[in-house]
Each structure stands twice: as structure tokens, then as C-alpha cells.
Amino acid sequence: MTRQQPFSGRPQDLPTKAELARLRVEYEKDERLAYLGHLEVIATVERCVRRAGLPFSIGNGFARRMRLQFSGALPVGASSACEYYDIRLTERVDAREALGLLRAATPPALAPTRAAYVPGADPALEAWLDRSSWEVELVASPVGAALIERAVESLRARGTLTYLRGEREKTVDLASTLVGVSAVDAPCGSVRLRVETRSDARASLRPRALVDAALAEAGRGMPDAVRVRRVAQRHEEDGRLVEPL
């Protein structure tokens, strides 16, 4: 039976958020779910936490929602090896036991991989994780690795990148959001890129938007497919990268 915080508890009698145990969970988002939106992921994880029977905490606001915070939304169409959420618990459960319960309650395509407790007063994940590493595969690319790198450098020299997000134009500053790009030629005419990005409250760079712009800059057409996968998230502090777990 799930041991969540009782709804009858008076707000003045309940522990503050910083006093609650804060369990951080790393999970994958398989390529099969690349087009599952962030809100759908949140709803799925909430159901999994309930099925796992963890003693989750309920917020004191009007909505009385589960105290669950996620890292920044993954772009639709991308998979990931390293997404994160923090769940506030009313009781401290052994992290290995909690991970086992979550694994048993979660679909394999969103499989939790690691879990550990972090300080309750730490910043929210979405704002704190400001560096991402991405792997991008251009399947049967008409453009080789060297030409892709030159096209990216041409874009970087212009300073900004403007692209359509839905029906709206979005402009990002490449000097602040693009840390680096490297590309290698792969078997079967494919190209693999490693893209390092930085985000803040004002903007973030979507690797697919950068790659599409670089392909247009090269002027050789489009590959058969573009696969994007986030492979690392970290916090940048005083010139060093801090791991979330």
C-alpha cells in the first residue's frame, strides 16, 4: 500500500519541503518513446511512483500534487540515457530498495538506472542542470563530417541561430549556448556528431535545430534520418562540471 502524506494533515503541521527526504532518480528515455511529450512523461512517472508504493509527499497548495520535480524537458524526437527527477518522501527509504521498487513499477522504455539522496535545500533540477551532451546520428548523410563541422563554424561566426519552433521563430545566441561540436564519419555513409550545449533561464539550444541549419548551410540535401540522444547532464560551476548523482 502506498504510504503517501495524508490529505487530512494541516499545512502548519506538515514538514517543510527542505526537511523532507529528497530522492534523485536517473532514468532513460528509450528511442521508442522519443515522441512522447514531457507532460506525458510526468504523468507516467507519477503513476509509477504510486505503483512502487513509495511514501511520497503531497504539496500544501490547493492542487495537492505529488512533490515531484524534473530536469529540463527533452526535445520531442530525442531519446536520452540520463533524465532525472527528484521525489520528496515523508520517510527515508533505502535508496537501493527504492530503485528496485521503481524499476519493478516502471515500463522498460523509461527504466530508472540510479537513485540517491541529495540535500533537500539544493536548487531545483531544471535550473541547476545547465550543461548537456548530445549524440546526433545522420543516417545516410549526403554531407561528410568535415563539411558539417565547417558549416557549424560558419553558423557560430554569425553569432545567432534563428529557427521555427512550431509556428514561432526562436533566436538563440550561439556564443552562450553552443559549447562545442565534433563530427566523425561512420559506416554506411552516416555521420556521428557530439554536441555540447549550455542553457539558462533565457535560452537553450536544440541540437536538431543546429544540425538542420548546418545541413542547410552545406547545401547538399538531408540525410535519411536524424537521431538525437542526450548522453549527459551536468551543472557548470567555476569552470568545472558537477554530476547530478
Per-residue confidence in pLDDT tens, the chain, 245 aa: 455 554 444 544 455 666 799 999 999 999 999 999 999 999 999 999 999 999 999 987 666 789 999 999 999 999 999 999 999 999 999 999 999 999 999 999 999 999 999 999 999 999 999 999 999 999 999 999 999 999 999 999 999 999 888 788 999 999 999 999 999 999 999 999 999 999 987 889 999 999 999 999 999 889 999 999 999 999 999 989 999 99
Q: Are residues 26 and 121 in the same domain?
A: yes
- pLDDT in the model for residue 13: 46
Whole-angstrom Cα distance, residue 116 to residue 191?
Answer: 36
Q: Are residues 191 and 95 in the same domain?
A: no
Q: What is the CATH number of the domain that holds 57?
A: 3.30.70.580
- pLDDT in the model for residue 203: 83
Q: Which long-range contacts (CB under 8 A, 24 or more apart) does 90-95 make?
A: 90/3, 90/4, 90/5, 90/15, 90/20, 90/21, 90/55, 90/56, 90/57, 91/3, 91/21, 91/55, 92/21, 92/117, 93/21, 93/23, 93/54, 93/55, 95/23
Count up the domains in the chain and report the number.
2
Whole-angstrom Cα distance, residue 128 to residue 63?
Answer: 25
Whole-angstrom Cα distance, residue 195 to residue 193?
Answer: 6
Whole-angstrom Cα distance, residue 180 to residue 177?
Answer: 9
Identify the residue whose cell numbers are 528496485: 100
Which one, of 4, 128, 134, lies nearest residue 70 by Cα? 128
Structural domain harbouring 106: 11-127
Q: Are residues 110 and 156 in the same domain?
A: no
